[in-house]
Amino acid sequence: MPRGLSRRILGGVDIGIIWHEAFTEPVTGAHPEGPDRVSAAVDHLRATDLWPRLTVVTPDPAAEEDILRVHSRAHVEAVKSAAARGGHWIDPDTYVSPHGYDMALLGAGGAIAAIRMWDQGLVPFALVRPPGHHATHDAAMGFCLFNNVAIMAAKLLADGYERIAIIDWDVHHGNGTQALFYEDPRVLFFSMHQWPHYPGTGEVLDCGKGKGAGYTINIPMPAWCTDNDYAHAFEMLIEPVTNQFAPQAILVSAGQDIHRDDPLGDMNVSDVGFAQMGWRCARMSRNCNGRLAFILEGGYDRRATAQAIETVLRAVTDDCAPAVGECSPRGGSAISKARVTQAAYWYLW
């Protein structure tokens, strides 16, 4: 049994969070991705009625072999060397602090810890930092050093899983995750992201390559998309494709920076939207024995991020969500374009 693990039942569903006090240490310099990003969420949860009923797990650092399933040795050594030199800016957005290498190992270890929590019947939310979905095979970028959700997926594949779905709702495209699995039919990757926006990737026609054709699904969304737009993206595309793919596990790159109060995005998503998405992910996971995990990506307004995390947890445990209204015209158009593109690979009509 992982350290600190005990079972508590909440609304018929066991839920938990993964976090470590070390995540309060600086890792990215004077930066939106600061040390209070996760601690603010934990402090918020501690003040709610959820906290006494949550299972809290303290992760261990990922083993190097887990990192090397996803990243090149040269990349791992570059991050390690940058930390050993006392800190280094890799690019204008991404800083490796003296703690950066150890923190990145711990973040990846937090994602891996989620796998062990499934054995206890838990749905985990890994409150880890730094985020990971921009990190590619051989490069760090966009605040990300190691790709946490990809490392978790690669671990599952190594353990014998054959079909894994990754849903990325961060405001920024998960370019690193896409690139890592672009030719792999075992991983179904969805990304809903603001378009155009950093990092400038994730066009609707990017659908995978070779045996992976059709297993990358991009839904580029215009700015100011609403709760209803995100719910309809699930209803009209993500859910029907996921059900056809029949994954053995569903991993969510939960970027809370689509919140309407986030300073790094231009979306108009409220707690209603997060409740819808959390509930829909939980509903889909019933077909894979509840193997669902949320891995924190972005989210830079401390209050909004904390509230969105609480909302997702409540939606999962309560098995209910607010009613869905009509799409916005621009959001509906973006979803329709993605549906038309993916109809070449999946039954959607």
- Helix runs in 186-270, H state only: 227-233, 239-245
CB atoms within 10 A of CB 238: 26
Residue 134 annotated among the catalytic residues of the structure: yes
Instruction: Work out the angle between the directed axes of helices 36-46 and 302-318 (0-180°, nearest 10).
Output: 50
Residue located via tokens 């990922």: 62
Q: Residue 14 in contact with residue 81, Cβ under 8 Å?
A: no
47, exposed or middle or buried, with CB in 10 Å at 0-12, 13-18, 19+? Answer: exposed
Of 20, 44, 134, 197, which is the active-site residue? 134
Handedness of CA 126, 130, 131, 133 (dihedral sign): negative
* Closest alpha carbon to 132 in 116, 117, 151, 158: 151
DSSP code for 195:
S
- Give the C-alpha distances (Å, rounded to integers) separating 161 from 154, 155, 179, 246, 291: 9, 9, 20, 12, 12
Q: Tell me phi and psi for residue 219, to 5 degrees.
A: -125, 85
224: alpha, beta or left? (left if phi > 0; alpha if psi -120 to 50): left
Cis peptide before 196 (omega within 30 of 0): yes
Q: Which residues are catalytic?
A: 134
